């Protein structure tokens, strides 16, 4: 039997399994589809990039393949597919502030991707994406939209050739349709696929795409890797152009499970459910405090995965990111009504539902839970006192003066004495329409560092 007809059979087999497909099956179906197209299935790399000082965390599926795109590293295959763990909390891709208000942005998420290293290019990338979405996952074409880079006539033509309605192919500029991993590294024009989640299919309009309207959701980005950007911003063509695609598993799960928010998928519901149980609260409480529940669920995942990849709560770099996320979650937990550490319990659910796909979670279950509780206890000892001080004395004196900006030295004192990361203080103030004098905070931090530097010099010399 020829290759093409085997492919047909495979697609027939994969077809029609989309009625409320669970996330484990979505990952499997994606990888199977691309394996069937000659892609090697590559396991997810750690969240900590190997040998890449330009990045704090892996923020996209292509990061582990960066050197392969640049032509520096050779692999035994030219096509790969993966489900990669990602974190977007720093640098060019930072979605921390969107977590809570947004139904579809997370700190930690999984990116499904297919990659070509100097092998196929736009034509196949578009054909595969179309076939997978419309044939295998059987998404209704009348809800799909396609965006392409301003002058990318090739991409427009290729979408039309596979069967996309020309009225559903839209052109956008660099902000939306030119992708870069960071300030430096591989980049290129892209084409994105969007889904209309609204109740009324006849109400769709092109202006909805890439707008604030949550009924329109970007969910898959096909990047046509063509350049390397250097520190001066100069673009140099790659030795051979390639393909890098990224689709958020959580967003695809929302589409396939017929819900409008990632938090209503099987990846999040059990975590939220456990939070409600621990609090002895019902759905009404959840509906009234949705954002806080979502932050707790999102951060519980991030914390568990960061610790599994070797990060520890601390004061520098990656460790500090973990500390900030954990303390933020603890703060929102307290706002929801928790009076004692609880994050080890919510992380336990994360390990239950993700442990099959990511055995590192299961192997390190006890360590993850112990580290979380220790850090949470450290913070909760000072959280209540710090909050009382902030909400009482400090905000009282601001109100007394009719001021809206908290002096930097106060924000620094909250950090130094009570362990409040600056962004947490900012968040608490922002909820009241107030802000922090960040320059003053940084000045106080510098002075403190200077003092401790002198003290340690003194100790060494003395
Ligand atoms: P958005 O504009 O929605 O913030 P993006 O354009 O920054 O997304 P890309 O860099 O194109 O995202 O990433 C590819 C895909 O990864 C997105 O289409 C989406 O499905 C998913 N994705 C990106 N950021 C997040 C996130 N913070 N949480 C969940 N999924 C994400
Ligand atoms: Mg995008």
Each residue of 306-345: pLDDT tens digit?
Answer: 999 999 999 889 999 999 999 999 999 999 999 999 999 9
Regarding the beta carbon of 250 and ligand 1, being less than 6 Å apart is answered yes
User: 276-296 burial string, b = 16+ CB within 10 Å, else e?
Assistant: bebbebeeebbeebbebbbbb
Q: What is the pTM of this model?
A: 0.91
- Cα 248 to averaged position of ligand 1 atoms, centre (Å): 6
Measured over the CA atoms of residue 452, residue 457, residue 459 and residue 462, the dihedral's sign is: negative
Rounded CA separation 83/357 (Å) = 10
Quick check: 229 pLDDT over 70?
yes
Share above pLDDT 70 across residues of the chain, in percent, rounded to a whole number: 94
Share above pLDDT 90 across residues of the chain, in percent, rounded to a whole number: 83
Burial class (CB in 10 A: 0-12, 13-18, 19+), 131: middle
179-222 pLDDT, tens digit per residue, is 988 888 899 999 999 999 999 999 999 999 999 999 999 999 99
Rounded CA separation 292/277 (Å) = 15
Query: Phi and psi of 454, rounded to 5°?
Result: -65, -40
Q: Under 8 Å CB-to-CB from 6, ≥6 apart: which residues?
A: none
For the chain, the straight-line distance linking the first and the last C-alpha, in angstroms and rounded, comes to 82
Quick check: 1 pLDDT over 80?
no
Which segments of 309-364 does DSSP mark as H helices, in order? 317-336, 343-354, 359-363
Pocket test for ligand 1, best of 61, 83, 96, 109 (most atoms within 8 A of CB): 109
Query: What angle in degrees, to the nearest 10, is found between the helix axes of 249-256 and 23-36?
Result: 110
Do residues 120 and 94 make contact, with C-beta atoms less than 8 angstroms apart?
no
Quick check: 432 pLDDT over 80?
yes
Q: Which two three-digit tokens encode residue 88? A: 């977007």
Rounded CA separation 216/208 (Å) = 6
Residue nearest to atom 22 of ligand 1 (CA): 248
Rounded CA separation 183/70 (Å) = 15
Do residues 128 and 34 make contact, with C-beta atoms less than 8 angstroms apart?
yes
Q: Under 8 Å CB-to-CB from 62, ≥6 apart: which residues?
A: 69, 113, 115, 181, 186, 223, 225, 244, 246
Do residues 425 and 457 make contact, with C-beta atoms less than 8 angstroms apart?
no
Pocket test for ligand 1, best of 218, 225, 253, 299 (most atoms within 8 A of CB): 218
20-58 pLDDT, tens digit per residue, is 899 999 999 999 999 999 999 999 999 999 978 879 999
Which segments of 164-268 does DSSP mark as H helices, in order? 174-177, 249-256
Regarding the beta carbon of 301 and ligand 1, being less than 6 Å apart is answered no
Do residues 421 and 414 make contact, with C-beta atoms less than 8 angstroms apart?
no
- Cα 88 to averaged position of ligand 2 atoms, centre (Å): 13
Residue nearest to atom 14 of ligand 1 (CA): 246
């Amino acid at each position: 039997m020829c290759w093409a007809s085997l492919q047909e059979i495979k697609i027939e087999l994969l077809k029609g399994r989309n009625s409320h497909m669970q996330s484990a099956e979505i990952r499997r179906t994606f990888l199977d589809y691309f394996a069937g197209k000659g892609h090697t299935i590559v396991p997810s790399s750690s969240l900590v990039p190997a040998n890449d000082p330009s990045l704090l965390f892996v923020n996209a599926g292509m990061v582990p393949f960066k050197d392969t795109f640049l032509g520096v590293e050779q692999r035994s295959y030219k096509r790969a597919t993966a489900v990669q763990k990602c974190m977007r909390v720093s640098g060019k891709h930072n979605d921390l502030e969107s977590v809570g208000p947004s139904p579809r942005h997370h700190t930690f998420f999984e990116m499904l991707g297919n990659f070509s290293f100097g092998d196929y290019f736009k034509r196949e990338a578009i054909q595969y994406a179309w076939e997978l979405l419309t044939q295998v996952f059987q998404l209704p074409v009348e809800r799909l939209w396609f965006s392409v880079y301003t002058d990318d006539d090739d991409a427009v033509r290729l979408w039309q050739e596979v069967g996309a309605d020309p009225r559903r192919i839209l052109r956008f500029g660099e902000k939306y349709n030119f992708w870069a991993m960071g300030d430096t590294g591989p980049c290129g024009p892209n084409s994105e696929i969007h889904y209309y989640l609204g109740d009324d299919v006849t109400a769709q309009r092109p202006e909805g795409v890439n707008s604030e309207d949550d009924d329109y959701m970007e969910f898959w980005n096909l990047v046509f890797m063509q350049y390397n950007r250097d520190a001066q911003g100069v673009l140099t063509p790659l030795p051979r152009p390639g393909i890098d695609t990224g689709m958020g598993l959580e967003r695809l799960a929302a589409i396939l499970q017929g819900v409008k928010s990632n938090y209503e998928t099987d990846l999040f519901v059990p975590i939220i459910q456990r939070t409600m149980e621990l609090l002895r609260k019902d759905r009404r409480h959840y509906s009234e405090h949705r954002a806080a529940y979502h932050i707790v669920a999102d951060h519980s995942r991030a914390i568990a995965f960061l610790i599994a990849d070797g990060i520890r709560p601390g004061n520098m770099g990656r460790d500090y990111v973990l500390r900030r996320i954990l303390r933020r979650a603890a703060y929102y937990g307290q706002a929801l009504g928790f009076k004692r550490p609880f994050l080890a319990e919510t992380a336990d659910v994360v390990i239950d539902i993700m442990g099959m796909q990511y055995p590192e979670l299961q192997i390190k279950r006890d360590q993850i839970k112990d580290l979380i509780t220790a850090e949470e206890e450290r913070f909760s000892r000072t959280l209540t006192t710090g909050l009382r001080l902030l909400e009482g004395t400090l905000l009282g004196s601001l109100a007394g003066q009719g001021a809206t900006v908290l002096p930097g030295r106060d924000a620094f004192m909250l950090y130094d004495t009570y362990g409040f990361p600056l962004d947490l203080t900012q968040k608490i103030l922002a909820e009241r329409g107030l802000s922090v004098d960040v320059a003053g905070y940084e000045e106080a931090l510098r002075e403190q560092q200077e003092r401790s530097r002198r003290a340690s010099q003194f100790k060494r010399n003395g």
